Amino acid sequence: MAKIICVLYDDPVDGYPTSYARDGIPEILKYPDGQTAPTPKAMDFKPGELLGSVSGELGLRKFLEAEGHTLVVTSDKDGENSTLDQELFDAEIVISQPFWPAYMTAERFARAPKLKLIITAGIGSDHTDLQAAMEHGVTVAEVTYSNSNSVAEHVAMMILGLVRNYIPSYDWVIKEGWNIADCVARSYDVEGMHVGTVAAGRIGLRVLRLMKPFGLHLHYLDRHRLPEAIEQELNLTYHDNLKSLTEACDIVTLNCPLHPQTEHMVNAETLKHFKRGAYLINTARGKLCDRDAIVSALESGQLAGYAGDVWFPQPAPRNHPWRTMPHHGMTPHISGTSLSAQTRYAAGTREILECYFSGQPIRQEYLIVEGGKLAGVGAHSYSPGNATGGSEEAARFKK
């Protein structure tokens, strides 16, 4: 029987919900490319419940304990002697969400000799040292597509929020003001602007589709070109390098995974090629950007705004400069963990576990690493190596 450690974010400060704002969520059976939503044999939760916090347990306890497994659920993942570290010695499976990632570093692999499977409940497995996973023969899987559309909605919201200067205008209402000029002195229409996505995968392409009706010109950069029919349908301009994309765009949105090729792709040097007053939206991973270069670009006016929900490390230290830099629209990492998204990735996590325990293959589209090499989506979208360096800094949040 297996021991499973599930690292989840804390419950709400006022306690685990006893009721919800809505009575349910729409049922999504298929994603835009035809891939089916998760198909576990059963689910022990009601769609729309809070599953991603410790008391929600991703809805897994009944299922796992009925099969005789041991489930340890904790939010204590960073710093000396964390519960995660204490429990690793006999763990077979580690599950965590990118919002509150269990950084599975080489040191942690060394402490976990029985580890066989790491599941990302969500999308983006950069918090696992993929090189170490390959070397230890550990399978890494994530719930591909489960929250891609959720993130794309968030990107669209943040583009509009930044360009139209929504958050400072909202603040004037709270401050009992009616300061129209203060609000609009930085407020523009998106219509007619050029928006470009770095990566036109599931999220990037969805962002382009969502922005199209606003009358923007659409651009993308990717390692693989989209089918001609899609380029024509959306009237897309393709760029084969970041300089060309950023020189052309008023709004840039990052939608690629974090891996050694993409780490710090936006830095002091590459920011010089952005248009002055560009907006940058990053809901992909904090480490795609050089932290201090973003702050400087906002202070100098090279960037007119920066918004996103991803930081490095997570949770972000309380004095992280992105909390206080000018013209930002940051949130904690929430875009992919709406109640709607949680239902899908909790179901997908269960599907992966059911396959693993019954010896059935895990869906190809869920695989990142298998059999000592990148596999499935991992082989398509990642590069070998490790992007967890510096993750020990996450312990500073506790202090």
Window contacting ligand NDP (CB under 6 A); options: 22-30, 174-182, 210-218, 254-262: 254-262
**Per DSSP, what are the bridge partners of residue 197?**
220, 253
Task: Pick between residue 312 and residue 356 the one whose CB is nearest to ligand NDP.
Answer: 312
Question: Which of 30, 114, 318, 380 is close enough to bind ligand NDP by CB under 6 A?
Answer: 380
Annotation says 69 is catalytic: no
The pairing of strands 217-221 and 236-239 is: parallel
The residues facing 36 across adjacent strands are: 30
- Residue closer to ligand NDP by CB (options 139, 338) is 338
Active site residue 202: no
Binding characters for ligand NDP, 281-310, by CB under 6 A (x = yes): --xxx-----------------------xx
What is the closest distance, in whole angstroms, from the C-beta atom of residue 130 to ligand NDP in the complex?
12
| Active-site position among 259, 333, 344, 350 | 333
User: Which of 314, 327, 344, 363 is an active site residue?
Assistant: 314
Applying CB under 6 A, among 198, 298, 352, 368 the residue interacting with ligand NDP is 198
Q: Which stretch binds ligand NDP (CB under 6 A): 80-88, 194-202, 270-278, 296-304?
A: 194-202
Pick the closest to residue 187 from 156, 170, 166 (CA basis).
166
Which letter, b or e, does each residue of 200-225 get, where b requires 16 or more Cβ atoms within 10 Å of its Cβ?
A: bbbbbbbbbbbbbebebbbbbbbeee
Which residue among 47, 101, 161, 201 contacts ligand NDP (CB under 6 A)?
Answer: 201
Q: Please, what is the minimum distance in Å from the beta carbon of residue 42 to ligand NDP?
A: 25
Non-local CB neighbours of 362 within 8 Å, separated by 6+ positions: 139, 141, 352, 355, 356, 370
Q: Which x/- pattern, by CB under 6 A, does the window 359-378 give for ligand NDP? A: ------------------x-
Q: Does 199 bind ligand NDP (CB under 6 A)?
A: yes
147 is catalytic: yes
Q: Which of 128, 255, 338, 388 binds ligand NDP (CB under 6 A)?
A: 255
Q: Which of residues 127-186 bind ligand NDP (CB under 6 A)?
A: 147-148, 151
CB of 223 vs ligand NDP, minimal distance in Å:
4
Query: Which residues are the active-site residues?
Result: 147, 285, 314, 333
Question: Which residues are at the interface with ligand NDP (CB under 6 A)?
Answer: 122-124, 147-148, 151, 198-204, 221-224, 255-258, 261-262, 283-285, 309-310, 333, 335-336, 377, 380-381
